[in-house]
Amino acid sequence: MKIVLLDWYTVSVNGDITPQVFEQFGDMKVFSLTKPEETIANIGDADVVLCNKVLITKEVMDACPNLKYVGLFATGYNNVDVAYAAEKNITVCNAGQYSTNAVAQQVFAYILDRYSRIRDYDNAVKNGEWERSPAFSYFPIPTAELAGQTIAIVGYGSIGRRVAKIADAFGMNIIISTRTKPSDCPYEVTDVMTAASRADVITFHCPLTEQTKGLVNSELLKVMKPTATLINTSRGPVVNEADLALALNNGEIAAAYVDVLEKEPMSPETPLKNAKNLTMTPHIAWAAFETRERLVDIVCDNIRSWMSGQPKNKVN
β-strand partners of 93: 71, 314
Which among 179, 175, 215 is positioned nearest to 194, based on CA atoms?
175
Which position among 161, 235, 292, 294 bears the catalytic label? 235
Which position among 117, 188, 262, 283 bears the catalytic label? 283
Phi, psi (deg, nearest 5) at residue 309: 90, 5
Mean pLDDT, rounded, of the chain: 97
- Packed helices 118-126 and 100-116: angle between N→C axes, nearest 10 degrees: 50
* pLDDT (tens digit per residue) in 217-239: 999 999 999 999 999 999 999 99
Domain 2-97+289-307 has CATH 3.30.420.40: no
* pLDDT (tens digit per residue) in 110-136: 999 999 999 999 999 999 999 999 999
Q: Domain limits of the chain?
A: 2-97+289-307, 100-280
Edge-to-edge order in the sheet of strand 69-72: 27-30, 2-5, 48-51, 69-72, 91-93
To the query of whether residue 205 is one of the catalytic residues in this protein, the response is no
**pLDDT value for 242:** 98
* pLDDT (tens digit per residue) in 40-74: 999 999 999 999 999 999 999 999 999 999 999 99
Domain 100-280 superfamily per CATH: NAD(P)-binding Rossmann-like Domain (3.40.50.720)
On the question of pLDDT at 293 being above 90, the answer is: yes
**pLDDT value for 302:** 98
**pLDDT value for 96:** 86
* Residue 274 banded pLDDT, cuts 50, 70, 90: very high
To the query of whether residue 264 is one of the catalytic residues in this protein, the response is yes
> Can 2-97+289-307 and 100-280 be said to share one CATH topology?
yes
Report the distance separating Cα 40 and Cα 57, nearest Å: 10
The pTM score is 0.94
**pLDDT value for 44:** 98
**pLDDT value for 181:** 84
CA 126 vs. chain centroid, Å, equals 33
**pLDDT value for 183:** 87
* pLDDT (tens digit per residue) in 175-231: 999 998 898 899 999 999 999 999 999 999 999 999 999 999 999 999 999 999 999
To the query of whether residue 283 is one of the catalytic residues in this protein, the response is yes
Cβ contacts of 138 within 8 Å, gap of 6 or more: 124, 129, 130
Which position among 179, 264, 290, 304 bears the catalytic label? 264
